[in-house]
A and B are shown apart, each in its own frame.
Chain A
C-alpha cells in the first residue's frame, strides 16, 4: 500500500467512524447469505459466490488460498460423506480466476488420506481445476495458541495459518453428538493430535476453532445431505438430494441456514447458541438478508 492510499483510507475510515455502524449495513450492496438451488453443483456454487458480490470480494490477486473441504471418510460422492467434488472444483477455479497465486486443498481425514482423497473424487477434481492437493504433512503440525474459551492450544497444520485466505467448504450431515456437522465442525480437519478427545466438549471446541480459523468465505454444500447414520452414511437411502448451496461471510449464519435443511431450529443447536453468544455471528435467520434463488 502506498503512503498516499494509506492516508486516504485513513481519512475515509475516520469519517465513516462518526456514523452508526448500521449505516454500512443498510447500504450493503450484497446479501448476508446466498441460498441457491439448482441441478448442477458447479452452477449453484458459482451463482452463490456471484450473489455475494463475486469472488473478487474475497480473493485478491496474488493470494495463497486454502480451500478446506470435508474429505473425512472413505466414501464416494453419492454417499455424501465428503464435500461434493464439483463444489470444490468450482471454488478453486473461481479463486484462480480472481488471480490467486496458489490454491491448496487439504484435510486431515478419519480414514487413510490416500483413500478418502481419491474415492471422494476431490483429489482429481481439485487437481483438474489447478489446485495443489496436499496430504496432511505431520512436519507442518504446530502447537498454536487458539485462545479459545475451552480450547487453549492445539496442533494445527500450518498450511492454514500461512494462507492469505481460507475458504471453508463443508458438507451438511447429521452427527450423533452435536446433531449436525456443518461448517464449524469442519475445522477439526485442520488439526492434528488426539482429536477424538475433543468430543468431550465438542460444542465448545468447534466454536473456539471457528473463531480461530476465521474463513473469508464459507460455502455449504447441500447438494446431497446426509440425513441418517452420519457422519459417514453408507446406504444411498441415508442421503437426501437437496440441490442447494448456501454461502456467506458470516460462517455462523451459514451453519444456521444449513440447520434448516434438516428442519432443525438453529436455536436448538448448542454450538450455534454458543457461537452466537460469543458474537461470532448471527443465528436468527429473520435478521439476515438472504437471497434465495433457483437456477
Chain B
C-alpha cells in the first residue's frame, strides 16, 4: 500500500487558505473604505453583513419587518444546505483570524493539539437558542456575539485606534531620526485613511477581542467550536448537505492524526462519530492523512452521521433561560424618562424600534467623519450596550453628512439624503451660563456661534449685562439658543473653549425621532381653540 498524503486535498487546502485570505482582505478593505469618500454618497460598504443569515433572521423576528438587503443571506443559507458549513471554513473573516492564530500557536508549540472528546461544542447551540428566544420578545442581542458584528466592532473601536496610535508614535520616531519625506508621506497616507482614533470603550472591546483570540491557545478555533452563534445556526442548516466525509478503511492506519488536527472537533474518525454540523470543510484531515484515506465525495448517503446534540430537555431549558433573561435586559431608567446623553445618530428610528434593529456592528462609528459616534455603555440600558450614541465632547454631527445612515446594515438608522439629514434634530444645545466666558468674564468669545452650521444660525449673540467681581458692568455679546433652529449637532459643545467641561452642551430633548422627548407641546400652541 502506498503511503502518501493526498496531493489533491493539499491543493484544496491551499485554495481554502487563499479563499480565506481573499475574503478577509475584502472584509478589511470594505472596513477601511468606510469613511468620507470625497463625495456625499458611499457605496455598499456594509454588504458583508447582508450575507449573514443570523443577523437577517434575528432582525427580522425582533423588528417583525424584513429588510430587503438581507436577501443576500439566502445565498449563504442555500450554500450551507448544499455544501455544509463552508462559509465558516472558507469565508468567515473571524474564523480566518482564529485559524491563523491557531496555526501560529501550533507552530510556536504554545498549543499542542490532542484528541478531545467532550460535549462543549453544544454551548454555541445554547447561545443560539438563547438569542433566538430573545428576539421573539424583540430583544436583539445577536450583534454582541455575531462573528461579523463582533469583528467589525473590535476592529473599529479597538484594533484600528490602537494601530493608529502605534503608527503615529512610529512616525514621531521617524521625525526624530530626521526621515522627513517618509514621515510626511506616512502622515498624508494615514490622513487619507481617516481612522477614528478615540473610542470610549476601545480598551474593553479590544481586550475582549484579544481574549477571544487568545482562547486559541487552549483549543484550535475555540470560538468556532464552542461559542459562535452563527456557526451553530449554519450547523443546524447543514444537516442535509451533500459533501460527506469518507474514510477508506483499507488505507486507514488509525493514527488519529485527523482527530487531533481537526480544527473544529468534528471527529472524522471513526466515521460513525463524524459530526457534519461541526465540520467547516477546511480539509485539514484529508490533507494531513498520511495514507490519503480521507475523502469528501459528493453523496447523500449515509444520510445522517452524528447529529447535533440538542436534546429536548436542553432546548426547553435554554429557551426558558432566554425568556427569563428578557426582563433583566429591559431594566433601564431610560424607559421611564429619556436619557439626556442618549443622542442617537440622525435618522435613527424611535428608540424602541432602533433597539430591535441595531446589531451593534459599529459601521456608523467607522463612517462618522468626526469620531462623534461612540459605543454606548449604560446610556441605553443593558439592551443597548455598544449601540451608537453621539458624544459631542469627542466629535459632532457634520452638517452636510449622512454617511452613518447610509452604511447601517439593518436600517436601524434610516437612510437619509444629505438634504433630508440637515432637517433632522438629534437634540438641543443649552448654554451653561455659569461657565460661559462672556457671561462670567465679560470677554468676547463667540466660538459656538461661529461654528453653528445652520443658516440662519441657531446661536444668536445678544448683548448681555454682566457683573464682574469688582462690580463693573460689562455688556459683551453672549450666546442665546434659538431652539427652533438648533438641530443638536453638538459642534458648539465640541469647539467650546472652556475645555474641561464645555459651557454649552447638547442633550437629547427635542430629537425628531421621539414623540415624548420634546420640550414644548407645539400642538397646544398652534390649536389653542376649544380650551
Contact = CB atoms under 8 A, between A and B. Distances in A.
A176 interface: yes
A200 B443 CA distance: 6
B461 interface: yes
Nearest to A124: B38
B444 A177 contact: yes
B191 A177 contact: no
Contacts of B192: 114, 135
A196 B455 contact: no
Contacts of A177: 444, 446, 450, 477
A75 B499 CA distance: 26
A200 B437 contact: yes
B477 A176 contact: yes
B460 to A, nearest CB: 10
Nearest to A76: B400
B172 interface: yes
Interface string B485-529: 000000000011101000000000000000000000000000000
B444 A139 contact: no
B103 interface: no
A175 interface: yes
A113 B191 contact: yes
Contacts of A170: none
A161 interface: no
A115 B184 contact: no
Contacts of A176: 446, 449-450, 461, 477
Contacts of A233: 455
A194 B446 contact: no
Given A74-B400, A176-B446, A177-B444, A139 B187 contact: yes
Interface string A168-206: 000000011100000000000000001011011010000
A93 interface: no
Contact of B444 (A114, A134, A202, A229): A202
B172 to A, nearest CB: 6
Contacts of B398: 74, 111-112, 115
A199 B445 contact: yes
A61 interface: no
B454 interface: yes
A194 B457 contact: no
A110 B477 contact: no
B29 interface: no
B390 to A, nearest CB: 15
B369 A110 contact: no
A57 interface: no
Nearest to A79: B455
A139 B191 contact: no
Nearest to B39: A118
B358 to A, nearest CB: 25
B296 interface: no
A176 B224 CA distance: 60
B498 to A, nearest CB: 10
A135 B369 CA distance: 15
Interface string B448-463: 0111111111000100
Interface in A92-147: 110-115, 118-119, 134-135, 137-139
Contacts of B194: 112, 114
Given A74-B398, A112-B398, A235-B455, A196 B184 contact: no
B399 interface: yes
A196 B191 contact: no
Contacts of B377: none
A74 B457 CA distance: 16
A54 interface: no
Nearest to B452: A232
Contact of A135 (B39, B187, B450): B187
Nearest to A177: B446
B175 interface: yes
B456 A229 contact: yes
A244 B394 CA distance: 40
B399 A74 contact: yes
Contact of A232 (B184, B445, B455): B455
A238 interface: yes
Nearest to B184: A137
B434 interface: no
B447 interface: yes
B188 interface: yes
B36 A196 contact: no
Contacts of B449: 176
A110 B36 contact: no
A200 B451 contact: no
Contacts of A235: 455
Contacts of A75: 400
A111 B444 CA distance: 22
A219 to B, nearest CB: 24
A196 B447 contact: yes
A47 B457 CA distance: 37
A200 B400 contact: no
B290 interface: no
Nearest to A110: B451
Contacts of A135: 187-188, 191-192
B367 interface: no
Nearest to A238: B455
B171 A139 contact: yes
A268 to B, nearest CB: 17
Contact of B36 (A118, A199, A202, A229): A118
Interface of B: 35-36, 38-39, 171-172, 175, 183-184, 187-188, 191-192, 194, 369-370, 398-401, 437, 443-447, 449-457, 461, 477, 495-497, 499
8 contacts: A115-B36, A115-B401, A135-B188, A139-B171, A194-B497, A199-B450, A233-B455, A234-B455
Query: Nearest 7 pairs between A and B by C-beta?
Result: A234-B455, A135-B191, A196-B447, A196-B497, A118-B38, A235-B455, A137-B187
